[in-house]
Chain A
Amino acid sequence: MAGGGGAPAESRVGQVVLPGDVLLLPAYDEQDTERLPLGTSAAPRGRLLCGPGLRRCAGGLLVTKCGLLRHRRAGDGAAAAGGAYWVDSQQKRYVPVKGDHVIGIVTGKVGDVFRLDVGGSEQASLSYLAFEGATKRNRPNVQVGDLIYGQFLVANKDMEPEMVCIDSSGRASGMGVIGQDGFLFKVSLGLIRKLLAPKCEIIQELSQLYPFELVLGMNGRIWVKAKTVQQTLIIVNILEACEYMTAEQRKQALAKLSGN
């Protein structure tokens, strides 16, 4: 067996974990429901969420990606009553995941289906009926080369990924063809997650600068549009550089710009 036993998951939170490490979870077998759990390790109600980079194994979780182990407590968070563990890893190559919102580029039309490039190993397919208000007669106006913001309906390693531009209630809610002009560029996936975090300082600081519009795809693609080309390029440069800048450097850079 690899690793010679494992360490309890709580002790490794915030540390670097490597593939093959076993994280032990407090045992929850059926016997425990009879015994009252005493002490701090009370069995949480609800299910534990085993996020990206982790898999279930006998006794706990098995790490499959290298990175930092993160944990979120069981609480009033919207999802994951019962807490969540995941590995915060860095990568540039996107692997389609169901439910992710991504920016795709239309590369072709095959019959009634558009082919989109999402940066994965395969092109995704998007049916022309998967737009709000689309019927067989009322087709969406999508050309080759257009940018589309949609979410994955099907995304696993055995099938070609499929995308849709409506949500489960049939409304577009912001998805669909992204308008004219603007600038599309690629960043690493870790930066996208940082930017989409609930209280992201970078986005808050940028929003004070100029009016602009921003679309972030989980596949590492960002689309920016501002009033002038120069403003657009400034925002693009800041977003690309902020991955490796500290907070102070970023504030200095922004102060220079707002001074100009």
Chain B
Amino acid sequence: MDVIAFMQRGLDSQTKKQLDEEEKKIISDEHWYLDLPDLKEKESYIIEERSFIPCEDLLYGRMSFKGFNPEIEKLMVQINSKSKKEEIEEDDKMEADVSDEEMARRYETLVGTIGKKFLKKRDQRVLHDEDEEENSNTKPKKARKMFLKPQD
């Protein structure tokens, strides 16, 4: 609607629409891409490195000799053993105090003992009887202790 342009701060709606349309014509989606030819992605098999350390395998710069600074000497041993470990990547099995077979045996019995803890009382008694039967068949079964009335 054309209203008298009295104290109007911005553009009126019609001129705005016209300007927008003109802009859209000029600027399409393709406008925002660079007009350069596609750079070929360089093969990534070359790494650029500005430091000499990986090229020449340089050592750590802090050193101490003949026990002048014991902490630094400890550090030197650590760092040297680290670099050796990287070269020799075999995992040596640590010598175990207990052999694997013993561990297996222990676990077998362990599972049984802990398992018994969680049985109900009835089952415990049955187990107990079974154990006794297995272990000592020859021994007569002990009479279950019942309340003995005191003899006057």
A41 CB, nearest partner CB in chain B, Å = 14
Interface members, chain A 190-212 (any B CB < 8 Å): 193, 196-198, 203, 206-207, 210-212
Q: Is the CB of A99 within 8 A of B66?
A: no
A168 to B32, CA, bound (A): 41
Given contacts A28-B45, A78-B83, A78-B86, contact A98 B75 (CB under 8 A): no
Asked whether B65 lies within 8 Å of A50 as measured between CB atoms, the reply is no
The yes or no answer to B91 lying at the interface (CB within 8 A) is no
Range of interface residues on chain A?
A: 35 or more
Q: Let me know if B63 is at the binding interface, CB within 8 A.
A: yes
Cβ of B46: which chain A residues have Cβ within 8 Å of it? 25, 47-50, 56, 61
Tell whether, in the assembled complex, residue B47 and residue A47 are in contact, meaning their CB atoms are under 8 Å apart: yes
Q: Are B49 and A51 in contact (CB-based, < 8 A)?
A: yes
Q: In the complex, are the beta carbons of A203 and B52 less than 8 A apart?
A: no
Instruction: Select one of B53, B57, B61 contacting A216, CB under 8 A.
Output: B61
The answer to whether A100 touches B53 (Cβ under 8 A) is yes
Tell me, yes or no, whether B72 is within 8 Å of chain A by CB. yes
A100 touches B51 (CB 8 A): yes
Asked if A173 lies at the interface with its beta carbon under 8 angstroms from chain B, I say yes
**A51 CB to nearest chain B CB (Å):** 4
A174-B62, A213-B68 known; A47+B75 contact, CB < 8 A: no
Which of the residues A48, A98, A198, A214 comes within 8 Å of B57, measured between beta carbons?
Answer: A198
List the A side residues contacting B66 at CB < 8 Å.
Answer: 207, 210-212
Q: Does A76 contact B (CB under 8 A)?
A: yes
Query: A-B pairs with CB below 8 Å: how many?
Result: 127
Task: Bin chain B's interface residue count.
Answer: 20 to 34
Chain A residue, CB-CB nearest to B45: A47
B87 near A78 (CB under 8 angstroms)? yes
Instruction: Using known A-B contacts A50-B46, A55-B48, A174-B72, determine if residue A80 contacts B61 with beta carbons closer than 8 Å.
Output: no
User: Does A101 touch B at the CB level, under 8 Å?
Assistant: yes
User: Which residue of chain A is the closest to B63 with respect to CB atoms?
Assistant: A214
User: Is the pair A28, B67 in contact by a Cβ cutoff of 8 Å?
Assistant: no
Kindly list chain B residues whose C-beta atoms are within 8 Å of the C-beta of A47.
44-47
A82 at the interface (CB under 8 A from B): yes
Residues of B within 8 A of A174 (CB): 60, 62, 72, 75
**Cβ–Cβ contact B49 & A49, under 8 A:** yes
8 A Cβ contacts from B37-88 to A:
42-69, 72, 75, 79, 83, 86-87
Nearest-neighbour CB distance to chain A for B7, whole angstroms, equals: 51
Out of B56, B57, B72, B83, which one reaches A213, CB within 8 Å?
A: B72
Q: CB distance A72 to B55 under 8 Å?
A: yes
Report the Cα distance A226→B65, complex, angstroms.
10
B60 touches A80 (CB 8 A): no
Residue among B51, B54, B62, B86 with max Cβ neighbours from chain A (10 Å): B62
Contact of B64 among A56, A72, A80, A214 (CB under 8 A): A214
Residues of A within 8 A of B49 (CB): 49-52, 84
Q: Given A56-B42, A76-B87, A212-B65, are A193 and B52 also a contact pair (CB < 8 Å)? A: yes
22 CB contacts below 8 A, A to B, read A29-B43, A48-B45, A48-B47, A49-B46, A50-B46, A51-B54, A52-B55, A54-B48, A72-B56, A78-B57, A78-B83, A79-B54, A86-B56, A99-B53, A100-B51, A175-B62, A197-B57, A203-B63, A212-B64, A212-B65, A213-B64, A215-B62
Interface residues of B (CB under 8 A from A): 42-69, 72, 75, 79, 83, 86-87
